[in-house]
């Protein structure tokens, strides 16, 4: 009987811990994009987890977008479609492989593949800022975000097992 009571108590404590972790993780989700069990994918800034991929992607992309709008694109405009789509592939393969647990998470690989992605995102963003509903921006964003979204859902299910 004592073992039964101890097991029930341990299960109750584990359930409370899990709910608290989800509650805390939910509040941090807007800047972390990860649950507490995945904060290794974040950098702590001011005691708060901030997504490392976003910290790499957005500043670099904005620099490329601004440079492009000022007439200093990272490559000739004729290559935009090819480079924008191709440079999204490494980060997508990394993200999907990691989410489906086909490859182990690596901070270095995450930063490198995101740094490769950033000029493509920035160049696409420049097209969008120059001409709304640009295919150079929304085509890759819709395609790759859909892939990343479903990979994240599938990965969460795989990790819960």
Indicate the average pLDDT of the chain: 89
Map tokens 């708060």 to a residue. 48
pLDDT, position 23: 54
Distance between CA atoms of residues 123 and 110, nearest Å: 20
Packed helices 107-130 and 135-160: angle between N→C axes, nearest 10 degrees:
150
pLDDT, position 117: 98
pLDDT tens digit sequence for 106-135: 999 999 999 999 999 999 999 999 999 999
pLDDT, position 19: 64
For residue 30, is pLDDT > 90?
Answer: no
């Amino acid at each position: 009987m004592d073992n039964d009571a101890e097991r029930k108590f341990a299960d109750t404590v584990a359930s409370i811990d899990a709910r608290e972790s989800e509650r805390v993780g939910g509040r941090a989700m807007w800047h972390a994009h990860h649950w507490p069990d995945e904060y290794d994918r974040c950098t702590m800034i001011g005691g708060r987890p901030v997504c490392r991929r976003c910290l790499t992607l957005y500043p670099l992309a904005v620099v490329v977008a601004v440079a492009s709008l000022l007439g200093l694109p990272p490559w000739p405009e004729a290559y935009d479609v090819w480079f924008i789509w191709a440079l999204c592939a490494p980060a997508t393969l990394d993200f999907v492989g990691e989410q489906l647990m086909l490859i182990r998470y690596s901070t270095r690989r995450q930063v490198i593949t995101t740094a490769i992605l950033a000029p493509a995102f920035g160049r696409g963003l420049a097209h969008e800022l120059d001409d709304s509903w640009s295919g150079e921006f929304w085509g890759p964003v819709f395609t790759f975000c859909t892939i990343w979204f479903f990979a994240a859902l599938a990965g969460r299910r795989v990790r819960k097992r």
